[in-house]
Amino acid sequence: MNYNKVNSDRLVEDWKKYLEELVDPKSIDVSSFELKNNLQSGVWNSEKILDPEVGDLLYDIAKDFFDSLELDWVEIADIIFTGSLAAYNWSRFSDIDLHILIDFKDVDENQELVKEYLKSERLRWNRTHKIHIKGFEVEIYIQDVSEEHHAAGVYSIIKDHWLIVPTREDFEVDWATVQKKAASLMDRVEDVYKLFEGGEYEEAETAATRLKEKIRKFRQAGLDKGGIYSAENLAFKALRRNGSLERLSSLRVMSYDKKMSMDEQTKNTEKEHQSNEN
């Protein structure tokens, strides 16, 4: 059985079903972004204090990851717990965002090289390990001490106290704009799929790569301008929660694999051509 063909056919069928659902921006579910009345009770108590067992586990996880990098000469400035689970906008989609703060200059003078190396290592760790605490997956990040970080709440695991205390403030969001922006990006993902379905694998890979970068800049622009509740950031999160970003990544990989593959029929044709020339 050709498993690559089976997986490819399955992707095509799943994608067709998926596209049939993307008809109206109003169909994009944004209900999970509603603010909760309290912090997540399995992680925090009623006094906003982190569960000690959770804190100890997160410290150990962060240390294990950092020790795996073998950067013995570099000191950890802090380990922080941030993201929606450290605020009132948590949901069942939330991860435990665990950030290790270091000075990239302590690793090497070439900070761009350091950034790319640490990014690849933390992605490898997150792919390899699927650790859940209180039902939420732990996601490791490594951050330069000088990097600006947008968050409603930030808790220091090492110091065991809040650096930014989250507050439950009512916020006004133009949800129609969020849905329209998300739907527009989904249309772009559909364009990539059409290239893939049409056998234009190189074009599909290029389009997927460019779209991933566009979405990254789109989100960052929203964070810089309007913070975590900007329409751009919420649209990005909507794409992540409904699987669009994962599908885009899959299309990028599938397109590359198809582009670099050669089937038996093609090889036989080439052999026949070479034989005729001889």
Instruction: Decide if 58 contacts 133 (C-beta within 8 A).
Output: yes
Q: Which two tokens stand for residue 248?
A: 């885009």
Winning range, highest mean pLDDT, from 30-34, 91-95, 167-171: 91-95
Q: Which tokens belong to 191?
A: 């364009």
Residue 45 has pLDDT above 50, yes or no: yes
Q: What's the full length of the chain, in residues?
A: 278
Distance CA 158, CA 144 (A): 17
Q: Which two tokens stand for residue 33?
A: 């972004």
- Confidence band of 32 (pLDDT split at 50, 70, 90): low
User: Which of 15-29, 145-159, 238-252 bottoms out in mean pLDDT, i.e. has the lowest?
Assistant: 15-29
Residues 266 and 268: their CA atoms lie apart, in Å, by 5
Taking the CA atoms of 162, 89, 50 and 103 in sequence, report the sign of the dihedral they define: negative
What is the pLDDT averaged over residues 21-41? 71
pLDDT of residue 30: 65
Largest CA distance in the chain: 83
Domains of the chain and CATH, by start? 3-32+171-264 (no CATH), 37-164 (3.30.460)
Per residue in 38-57, is it b (16+ CB within 10 Å) or e — as a string? ebbeebbeeeeebbeebbeb
Find which of 2-11, 182-191, 232-241, 248-257 is predicted with most confidence, using mean pLDDT: 248-257
Structure token pair of residue 28: 């994009």
- For strand 161-164 and strand 154-156, is the pairing parallel, antiparallel, or unpaired? antiparallel
Report residue 183's pLDDT band, with 50, 70 and 90 as the boundaries. Answer: confident
